[in-house]
Amino acid sequence: MSYDDETDGFDSGAGGTGQTRTRLPEGGTGDVYGGARRPTRNSRSLFTVVGVVVLLVAAIAFANRGDGTDSPRTTDTAKGTAPTAATGIRPVAGKHAGIPAGYARDEQGAQSAAANYAVPLGSAEMYNQARRHEIVSTVYAPEAVDARQADLDRVYADEGFLSRIGLREDGTAPEGLTFVSRVVPVGTKVQKFTANAASVAVWYSSLFGLAGEGSKNPVAESWYTTTYEMKWIDGGWKVTGHTQKDGPVPVGRDQVASSAKEMADAVEQFGGFTYAR
């Protein structure tokens, strides 16, 4: 065996011999790990990889194993959203005087009634005397109808009030303008509830003004919360009284206001909804 077969030909300076011995494989294969030992090493590596994979699969299965109960995070999330989540109960199927009717005698029914009553009570139809009387007679309890009719008649017959909001003496919009008065409920909340009475707060956005070229009172958005006191009378929820306050009011975005024509077209083309809590 030559010198180069036993060494790498360089002085490593280790062990004081000045040489580093390297045994080359037999048979001249060039395999520095030895040809006879390679198959054994590959088998061992294969078994190691398989073992790691099996352990990994087992660990994942254990981590994902359910015990039949919700995790604390899932439970907390569900509890946190439940008060504001939709109940999933179908809207009422019937109407009376064009207003949804036939609510359940429970909290969901009371909230649905309050939301649907807020819409006509805040609509442009209230400026027409005949339609206003029909709405009030449908929504309010019999013992409250007369007093409420009288109060509203005084307000809507006030020429000063009508003039300030840009309407004619008969409550109609001037030629070329469209009167907009819409209530859009955002949510409801039960304040008090029994089988015979309920107090429900309705948070809503209100669109109010005159749409059209030359309008001095353009359509603007406001936010209110109205709380309706209701009684269960003759198989339905009826309003006995209400209170109103401003807000909560969100921060407005920096959006460009639509043109008078776009707003007028939207009012004519986009219909409202029947609400169900």
pLDDT higher than 60, residue 272: yes
pLDDT band at 83 (very low <50, low <70, confident <90, very high): low
Is 187 in contact with 81 (CB distance < 8 Å)? no
Residue 195 lies in a domain: yes
Residue 252 CB coordination number (10 Å): 7
The residue range of the domain holding 245 is: 101-251+261-269
Looking at residues 170-195, what average pLDDT do you find? 94
pLDDT higher than 70, residue 231: yes
Is 237 in contact with 113 (CB distance < 8 Å)? yes
Where residue 137 sits, what CATH number does that domain have?
3.10.450.50
Helix (H, G, I), strand (E, B) or coil at 67: coil
Q: What is the H or E stretch that residue 187 is in?
A: strand 178-193
Residue 12 lies in a domain: no
Q: How many CA atoms are closer than 13 Å to the CA of 119, on its beta-carbon side?
A: 18
Q: Considering the chain, what is the average pLDDT of its residues?
A: 77
CA dist., res. 194 & res. 131, Å (int) = 32
Looking at residues 97-106, what average pLDDT do you find? 90
pLDDT higher than 50, residue 262: yes
Looking at residues 231-258, what average pLDDT do you find? 93
Count, residues in the chain:
277
Looking at residues 28-37, what average pLDDT do you find? 40
Residue 172 lies in a domain: yes
pLDDT higher than 50, residue 73: no
Closest CA to 113 of 25, 28, 196, 202: 202
CA dist., res. 277 & res. 272, Å (int) = 16
Looking at residues 140-149, what average pLDDT do you find? 96
Answer left, alpha or beta for residue 246, where phi above 0 means left and psi between -120 and 50 means alpha: beta
Residue 5 lies in a domain: no
Kindly state the tokens that stand for 4: 């180069």
Looking at residues 191-195, what average pLDDT do you find? 96
The predicted structure's pLDDT at residue 82: 57
Torsion of CA 81, 83, 84, 87, to 10 degrees: 100
Residue 26 lies in a domain: no
How many percent of the chain have pLDDT more than 70? 69
Residue 275 lies in a domain: no
Residue 111 lies in a domain: yes
Closest CA to 275 of 138, 183, 155: 183
Residue 72 lies in a domain: no
pLDDT band at 90 (very low <50, low <70, confident <90, very high): confident
The count of structural domains within the chain is 1
Q: Which single residue is written with the structure tokens 């019937």?
A: 94
Closest CA to 180 of 63, 248, 262: 262
The predicted structure's pLDDT at residue 66: 43
The predicted structure's pLDDT at residue 49: 44
Q: 77-94: b or e for each residue (b if 16 or more CB lie within 10 Å)?
A: eeeeeeeeeeeeeeebee
CA dist., res. 35 & res. 25, Å (int) = 7
Closest CA to 20 of 3, 4, 7, 32: 7
**Tens-place pLDDT, residues 156-170:** 999 999 999 999 999
Looking at residues 117-132, what average pLDDT do you find? 95
